[in-house]
A and B are shown apart, each in its own frame.
Chain A
Amino acid sequence: MIAVLRHELSLFYHSMTGYIFGAFLLLFTGIGALLYNINASVANFEYVLDFISVVFIVIVPILTMRIISEEKKQKTDQLLYSLPITSTDIVIGKFLSLFVVFLIPLIIICVYPLIFAQFGDVYLPTSYGSMVAFIFMGMALISMGMYISALTDSQGIAAGICVAFMLFNYFCASLSDYVSATAVGALISLIVISAALSLVIRYMTSSNIVALLLFAILTIASLIVFFVNSDLLNNLLPNIMKKISLFERFSVFVNGVFDLTGIVYYLSVIVFFLFLCVQALEKRRYNG
């Protein structure tokens, strides 16, 4: 795991990726700080973090697109598989390297609230509380990007899907106001989600039976809930869209509340997608 971590860091800083990522994040943070803290004289650094969170839509794909897809394309994954390390070691090593690359510019950014505190009354607990949440949210988004990279051997496709994924995550809380809040709408959505989930399972296991079984169970469960107590489905879809948005949860921290459930949610997302990443690597070991 440590070998993979050190190796990935070396690759990030051999190419321009690590530097571009850091420069991009620092540039956007600088613009945000200029607009909010200097020009508008706002003493809340968390607003800057809220402003720059949109940058994840671009920087997460930049950072994660090659992390596993390039190994497949260059056939270097064969080396990793033949070494005395497990798929979990590979995934955690790569994830930690992304964490370090992400953390380096953030360490510099961490100094900003202290600098501003010299010139005004900055409430540091909220600033640093938001900073912690920002790191967790970033890592959760990076874990998603990493999983997408594990699904393909093309950097371009990985980046494209990742941007779409980030955009959906960023806007899904806003879009929730426009989707159907009725029980019928929720039922249809649940069936569509079940179908999508079954397709993912079909892709990962190559088993039609498992995928069909999952689809049947989820659909039947949705229908039972609909016919037994349809009130449970009212507003379900808008609520789901608000809940799954990682950006929406970050706004709670920006508003001054250190929401532990939010941190647990981010951690759960990280673990879930890293688990899927390991499964994607194992699938390749089985399917060649």
Chain B
Amino acid sequence: MITVEHLTKSYGSTLAVDDLSFTIEDGHIYGFLGPNGAGKSTTLNIMTGCLAATGGTVKIGDKDIFENSREAKKLIGYLPEIPPLYVDQTPREYLDFVAEAKKVAKKDRPAEVERVAKKTNIEHVLDKPIKYLSKGYRQRVGISQALLGNPQIIILDEPTVGLDPMQILEIRELIHKLGENHTVILSSHILSEVQAICDKVLIIYKGKLVAFDTPDNLGKISSHGSAIEIGADISLDMAKEILSSLNGIVSYENIESSDDQNLFKVHVENRDLTEISKEIFKAFAEKDIPLYKLNPVKTNLEDIFLELTSDSEENNITILEEKEIDSSITA
């Protein structure tokens, strides 16, 4: 478990991390999101002991990273944004050094290197100089060093940056497997990746934590909410009349219009999408209006991310306070 309390980091007059507090529970995969310069890498660097904080505490388990750094660091494996590799060495030599620095017993070191190499699938390049390896393999070597010593927590800063689609899928699969035995914190710009892999998401903006929840719950608290796309041969007034009779519809918008065919996006709150879809279908059927489209659309992480990081002040209020539900229907 990682406990971060009132963490602050300033560079002169610039505040990079502003009173950050959160708790990372064991056995989950956490996504760390934020635009460039939001303070993600700074926070991860502080959590791993690479950087000192201006204020606040970070505890890995019950060990303070600043006061008991040697013990705390034994519990963490860290892959920084740029894999820290000595390119003149072979992966075996490099991993042997990291294993020794992580106090892996001399007799266990060769087996430990083989174990992580097998896990990251680099066994066949273990004796090839790192400078001759592709970016994907270098990234795997970087992840291997993080796994040495079998730490409880693995922190990966942008592990898929610069990789081709096939390599991204392989690394993603690897992270998924790591989540079975480790707590993984994954910083990424690829929102679909975070949504696919992570159990919980932390969104940081201007050094502050603006959201921390499961992707599904973030969708619920988003002002976009969930939505249903409805396509029907119907006028706007008729649509308003039918939709206003249903519960849980916050608003709707006409997103495509041609002749008498209209495509609406109906925003829904606090209702199960399947249930309300049935009600919509029934309401339109009662009026004998055929639907050519009825498509539930869940809010994706990209919408939430953009919403939370585009206008910080207002968005903070959206996240931190109970959202007022506006039941009026607007066209």
Contacts and interface: CB of A to CB of B under 8 A. Distances in A.
A7 B80 CA distance: 20
Contact of A84 (B42, B50, B71): B71
A3 B52 contact: no
A82 B50 contact: yes
A255 interface: no
A78 B93 contact: no
Chain B interface size, under 10 / 10 to 19 / 20 to 34 / 35 or more: 20 to 34
B105 interface: no
B51 A285 contact: yes
A141 interface: no
Contact of B100 (A6, A75, A76, A287): A6
Contacts of A239: none
Interface string B80-101: 1010111111000100011011
B84 A84 contact: no
Contacts of B78: 78, 82
B104 to A, nearest CB: 10
Contact of A86 (B45, B70, B98, B100): B70
A78 B101 contact: no
A11 B102 contact: no
A74 interface: yes
Chain A interface size, under 10 / 10 to 19 / 20 to 34 / 35 or more: 20 to 34
Nearest to A79: B84
Given A10-B93, A14-B88, A78-B50, 13 more contacts: A75-B80, A76-B84, A76-B85, A76-B86, A78-B82, A82-B50, A82-B80, A83-B73, A83-B101, A84-B70, A84-B73, A288-B11, A288-B42
A14 B80 contact: no
B33 to A, nearest CB: 21
A199 to B, nearest CB: 18
Contacts of A288: 11, 42, 45, 51
B50 A14 contact: no
Contacts of B98: 79, 83
Contact of A74 (B45, B84, B145): B84
A2 B100 contact: yes
A81 B49 contact: yes
Q: Which of B49, B74, B101 has the most CB of A within 10 A?
A: B101
Nearest to A90: B101
B48 interface: yes
B76 interface: yes
A286 interface: yes
B73 A82 contact: yes
22 contacts: A6-B100, A7-B86, A7-B101, A11-B88, A15-B88, A74-B87, A75-B82, A78-B45, A78-B78, A78-B84, A81-B51, A82-B76, A82-B78, A85-B70, A86-B69, A206-B12, A285-B50, A285-B51, A287-B11, A288-B11, A288-B42, A288-B51
Contacts of B74: 84
Nearest to A71: B84
Contacts of B282: none
Contacts of A2: 100
A190 interface: no
Given A75-B84, A287-B11, A84 B103 contact: yes
Nearest to B16: A288
A285 B84 CA distance: 16
B101 A4 contact: yes
Interface string A195-237: 0000000000010000000000000000000000000000000
A14 B73 CA distance: 29
Interface string A1-26: 01110110011001100000000000
Interface in A37-95: 74-79, 81-86
A10 B101 contact: no
Nearest to B157: A78
B52 A286 contact: yes
B182 to A, nearest CB: 16
A269 to B, nearest CB: 28
Q: Which of A82, A84, A286 has the most CB of B within 10 A?
A: A82
A81 B50 contact: yes
